[in-house]
Structures are given as structure tokens and as C-alpha cells.
Amino acid sequence: MTAAGLRDDAVAALRRIAFLLERAQASGYRSEAFRAAATSVERTPADRVVALAKAGALTDLPSVGARTAEVVSLVVRGKPVEYLDRLEAEAAAADPPDPAVAALRARLRGDLHAHSEASDGKTPIQEMVLAALDLGHEYLAITDHSPRLTVANGLSAPRLRAQLQQVAALNRAVAPFTVLTGIECDILDDGALDQDPDLLDELDVVVASVHSKLRMDSRAMTERMVAAVRDPRTDVLGHCTGRRLTGRQRPQSEFDARRVFEECAAHGVAVEINCRPDRLDPPHDLLAVAVEVGCLFSIDTDAHAPGQLDWLTAGCERAAQHAIDPERVITTWPVERLRERSHR
């Protein structure tokens, strides 16, 4: 194999390890170390990578430590990477989903809620797209945060416009895969959306979510959410209760779920079934209400790293438990149909 081929295989192994660590909810520090090493190796001339591997000096490269150097060295020497093999085996050993879950997962075409390093994600858009392609997605919406969420480096209007140009260029390179333009737009205290309305009109997907004052009085929270759902620019109601199940746990917000979901059904706003293990939002009792009143749904990962894009099965399990018709899940729809309904 050529030096270029060896280097590319080493980069692929490093990125695959990072992906599997992210998928398994391992420490972000570990996955980020493998991704940084992959970037460093990829930017190094192939002949030099091979020479450094043979000399045992790969740690001379920026962001390459002993563990990542070992992976590159094994690949260059044509040896099995036991660490990668173990991670693959652990992933394969996960309990297979039941037939209904597997059938729904197979029908999903993409993901409408994902973040890049432009806000609080971990990687550039290109790496998120590559992971989505590897998973067999047909599309991925990049929905970085809106400006008020400064803790997540939310995008101002000029930054979002620059991202739209970046996505347009990327789409030319990855067609027929589609990178959908989008935003996770903060629902302000009065229910308004936190971004220039004219700019929101240009996007493919607007996920509206509450991120502040989550302990607001139930009546006020209900009115706040209803106002956002009634905005014709809202496509998806994101992680509706705001609860956190792990880490710094947070109770769910209180609101009139039936009224909010009835408004979603009336205005064609999909209720997100959020797949993040720390969210799994909405809870089952609220999800049952949304099913009963006739809502559409969007099964999304809310991914902040490439490996997290493989969390869709968790949402499919929840949808299957409620016998949700796949046709009511908009992420089973082709991209053309999604764009026809965008902002209604």
C-alpha cells in the first residue's frame, strides 16, 4: 500500500475510535484526543507519517500522544488495532432492538437537530456530515444555537449568514446528500424566537426550544410555548420539558402539555423525540398525550459530536412503545417533502 493509503487508513482508524467513544458516552476528553490526532496526521505529508511511525517518533506531531501514536503505528505496520477491535465488539454486543424498533430505525432518513463547533458542538460541520454519510443518512440539519444562548456561543445573524454560505458550498461537494440549514432557536420569555425573522425565513429547519427560566410558572410557560408554536417559522418543538436525567440533573418544566401539543398538531409543528441519554424528552406520559392529540414527531439526536448521531435507536424505542405510525415521524420523510412543509 502507498504511504498515502497507510496515512488515510490511520486517520480513519483514529476517527472511528473517536466515533465509538462518543457513541458509548465516554469522556469527551478521550474522543477529542483521537479526533485531534486524526486531524494532525491528516495534515502531515504521508511519507513523513510513515517515516515517523517506523522511527517510533509519531509523538513529534502536534496533538499526537502515546495512545494515538500506537494506533497509527499499528495501522502503518499492518497490525490489528486491538483497542479499536474491542470498541467495535462492545458496540456490536449491545442488545439488538426488537423488530418494531429496527423497522422504524431503518425508515429514518436523517436528523433535524445537530450542533457543530460553531456553537457548543465538538467538531466542524464537515465531520458531522461525514459521520451522517457513514450512518446512511440522506440529510442532516445543522441547528446551532441562537444568539441569546451565550453560554453555548449562539450564532449572531452575521455568523449564521456565514454558516449558510459554508453549507451551500458543502452541499455542492456531498450531493446527493443534503445538509439542511437550520437553527435551534431559543424561545424568549414572551414566546418570540431569538433570531431575525427574515433570516429564519431562509432556513430549512427551525427547532424552537426553551433554555432559560425553566422553572417559570406553569401558566406563563404554557403561553410562552404556545406563542412559539404558533409562529409560522417554527418547524420542531425541541426537548419540550428541558429535563436532565444525568450529571447535573434538572426537573422538567411545568406546562399544560395537552394545550401545547394541541397547538403543535393544529400548526403542523413536530414534537421532538430527543434521543440524548441525558434528556429522553418528552417523558412517556407527555409523549402519550402528544400521540393522542395527533402530533407529528421528529426523532432527533441533538448530537454535539459525530458519534452521537448514532443515538437514534433510543428515540425509535420510545416511539415504538407508543406505536407511533412512522408516517407521523417527519424524519422518515424525504428531504423534498420536508422542504415543502418548512415554515408552512
Predicted local confidence at residue 343, as pLDDT: 60
pLDDT above 90 covers a percentage of the chain that reads 94
Query: Rounded to an integer, what distance in angstroms lies between the CA atom of residue 318 and that of residue 314?
Result: 7
Stretch 260-286: mean pLDDT: 98
pLDDT above 70 covers a percentage of the chain that reads 99
Q: What is the pLDDT of residues 141-177, one digit of tens each?
A: 999 999 999 989 999 999 999 999 999 999 999 999 9
Which residue bears the cell 431503518? 106
Residue burial 202-222, b: 16+ Cβ < 10 Å; e: rest:
ebbbbbbbbbeebebeeeebb
Predicted local confidence at residue 344, as pLDDT: 58
190, with CB counted inside 10 A (0-12, 13-18, 19+), is exposed
Query: Rounded to an integer, what distance in angstroms lies between the CA atom of residue 44 and that of residue 72?
Result: 13
Cβ atoms 47, 3 nearer than 8 A? yes
Which residue bears the cell 501514536? 69
Q: What is the pLDDT of residues 16-48, one digit of tens each?
A: 999 999 999 998 899 999 999 999 999 999 999
Query: Rounded to an integer, what distance in angstroms lies between the CA atom of residue 101 and that of residue 91?
Result: 17
Stretch 210-217: mean pLDDT: 96
Predicted local confidence at residue 42, as pLDDT: 97
Sheet bearing 297-300, strands edge to edge: 110-111, 139-142, 178-186, 205-209, 236-237, 270-274, 297-300
